[in-house]
């Protein structure tokens, strides 16, 4: 029941912010998918208290607007940030999977709400880049659902906006540590694993 309520709430937000009406089937499918992901995560947690290496989770669906595997030999790191004005906090969710779609690592982090959405997403990317570099991974596709941040990171121009210094720090990490990695944009539907962590 809670997943259906959440999916209804999500559908309302999609209609409000994206002017898109979802069918009852879409709402139900999202609720079912969320419940399946929750059960898989609960099963993983019960089997392992160590977060560094976890047995393979069921394969991810390859449908449009859903998570897609990286190319062979690469990792995909989904990153998302959520904001709570009532709790005055920002939550970061990061999930790393391999080229089979198997769960490798995940992390959540809370920090004080001091920024707007774009700045929070940029800070989230920077934290994730630092964390993944400390884990000594490379060949990583970093995925965010904030197009503005992705465009700024991938731009050859300097960013003079309020998130410019964070973007520069992200670019330096990518250039110095992640030469075989890149940052890409996916719609929120394809970034749900990180969104749920946040």
Residue range of the domain that includes 132: 50-197
Contacts (Cβ under 8 Å, ≥6 apart) of 166: 119, 122, 123, 125, 126
Domain count, the chain: 2
Do 124 and 33 lie in one domain? The reply is no
Residue 152 backbone dihedrals phi, psi, to 5 degrees: -65, -45
Task: Indicate the pLDDT class of residue 169, thresholds 50, 70 and 90.
Answer: very high
Does the reported pTM lie above 0.75? no
152 shares its domain with 56: yes
Instruction: Give, for 31, the enclosing helix (H) or strand (E).
Output: helix 24-47
Top-confidence residue, 44 or 108: 108
Say yes or no: 114 and 96 in one domain.
yes
Tens digit of each residue's pLDDT (9 = 90 or more) over 25-38: 887 777 777 677 76
């Amino acid at each position: 029941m809670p997943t259906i309520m959440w999916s209804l709430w999500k559908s309302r937000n999609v209609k409000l912010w994206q002017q898109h009406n979802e069918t009852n089937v879409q709402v139900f499918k999202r609720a079912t998918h969320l419940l399946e992901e929750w059960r898989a995560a609960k099963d993983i947690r019960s089997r392992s208290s160590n977060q560094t290496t976890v047995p393979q989770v069921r394969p991810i669906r390859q449908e449009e607007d859903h998570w897609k595997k990286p190319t062979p030999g690469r990792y995909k790191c989904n990153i998302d940030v959520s904001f709570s004005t009532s709790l005055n906090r920002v939550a970061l969710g990061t999930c790393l999977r391999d080229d089979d779609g198997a769960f490798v690592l995940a992390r959540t982090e809370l920090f004080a709400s001091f920024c707007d959405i774009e700045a929070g997403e940029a800070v989230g990317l920077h934290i994730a880049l630092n964390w993944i570099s400390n884990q000594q991974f490379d060949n990583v596709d970093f995925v965010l659902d904030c197009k503005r941040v992705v465009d700024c990171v991938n731009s050859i121009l300097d960013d003079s906006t309020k998130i410019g210094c964070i973007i520069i720090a992200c670019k330096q990490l990518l250039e110095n540590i992640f030469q075989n990695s890149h940052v890409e944009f996916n719609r929120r539907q394809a970034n749900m694993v990180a969104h749920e962590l946040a």
